[in-house]
Amino acid sequence: MPTVTVEGPVVESLDTKRTLVKEMTAAASKAYGLPEKIIVVLIKENPPENVGTGGQLLIDRHQ
Protein backbone atom coordinates (compact mmCIF):
# COMPACT_ATOMS: atom_id res chain seq x y z
CA MET A 1 0.00 0.00 0.00
CA PRO A 2 1.50 3.36 -1.02
CA THR A 3 2.32 5.83 1.74
CA VAL A 4 2.59 9.55 1.09
CA THR A 5 4.43 11.60 3.72
CA VAL A 6 3.94 15.35 3.81
CA GLU A 7 6.36 17.34 5.97
CA GLY A 8 5.87 21.00 6.64
CA PRO A 9 4.88 23.64 9.13
CA VAL A 10 2.21 23.07 11.76
CA VAL A 11 -1.30 23.37 10.32
CA GLU A 12 -3.82 24.43 12.94
CA SER A 13 -6.95 23.98 10.83
CA LEU A 14 -8.43 20.50 10.83
CA ASP A 15 -10.33 21.38 7.64
CA THR A 16 -7.05 22.23 5.93
CA LYS A 17 -5.62 18.86 6.97
CA ARG A 18 -8.73 17.10 5.66
CA THR A 19 -8.33 18.86 2.31
CA LEU A 20 -4.63 18.02 2.17
CA VAL A 21 -5.25 14.32 2.87
CA LYS A 22 -8.11 14.16 0.36
CA GLU A 23 -6.11 15.79 -2.42
CA MET A 24 -2.91 13.82 -1.76
CA THR A 25 -4.92 10.59 -1.69
CA ALA A 26 -6.60 11.40 -5.00
CA ALA A 27 -3.28 12.28 -6.65
CA ALA A 28 -1.54 9.12 -5.42
CA SER A 29 -4.50 6.97 -6.43
CA LYS A 30 -4.41 8.40 -9.94
CA ALA A 31 -0.63 8.12 -10.26
CA TYR A 32 -0.50 4.51 -9.06
CA GLY A 33 -3.79 3.42 -10.61
CA LEU A 34 -4.86 2.02 -7.26
CA PRO A 35 -8.01 2.54 -5.18
CA GLU A 36 -8.00 5.47 -2.76
CA LYS A 37 -8.90 3.21 0.17
CA ILE A 38 -5.38 1.73 0.23
CA ILE A 39 -3.46 5.03 0.10
CA VAL A 40 -1.96 6.15 3.43
CA VAL A 41 -1.15 9.83 4.01
CA LEU A 42 1.02 10.88 6.94
CA ILE A 43 1.28 14.52 7.98
CA LYS A 44 4.48 15.32 9.85
CA GLU A 45 4.37 18.80 11.31
CA ASN A 46 7.57 20.60 12.11
CA PRO A 47 7.32 23.65 14.35
CA PRO A 48 9.74 26.46 13.45
CA GLU A 49 11.84 25.80 16.55
CA ASN A 50 12.68 22.36 15.13
CA VAL A 51 13.73 23.45 11.63
CA GLY A 52 16.87 25.29 10.59
CA THR A 53 18.18 26.67 7.32
CA GLY A 54 21.43 28.46 6.70
CA GLY A 55 22.61 27.65 10.22
CA GLN A 56 19.67 29.41 11.85
CA LEU A 57 16.39 28.18 13.34
CA LEU A 58 13.31 29.29 11.43
CA ILE A 59 11.81 30.69 14.61
CA ASP A 60 14.78 33.06 14.89
CA ARG A 61 14.51 34.17 11.26
CA HIS A 62 10.91 35.35 11.67
CA GLN A 63 11.51 37.52 14.72
Give pTM, 2 decimals. 0.83
- Map residue 55 onto helix, strand or coil: coil
**Virtual torsion, Cα 3, 27, 31, 10, nearest 10 deg:** -40
| The predicted structure's pLDDT at residue 62 | 65
Q: Which of 14, 1, 8 is nearest to 43 (CA)?
A: 8
**Virtual torsion, Cα 60, 58, 17, 27, nearest 10 deg:** 160
**Which fold, 3-61?**
Macrophage Migration Inhibitory Factor (3.30.429)
| The predicted structure's pLDDT at residue 25 | 98
| The predicted structure's pLDDT at residue 63 | 64
pLDDT block averages, 10 residues each, the chain of length 63: 96 97 98 98 96 94 72
Rounded-to-integer distance, Cα 4 and Cα 25, Å: 8
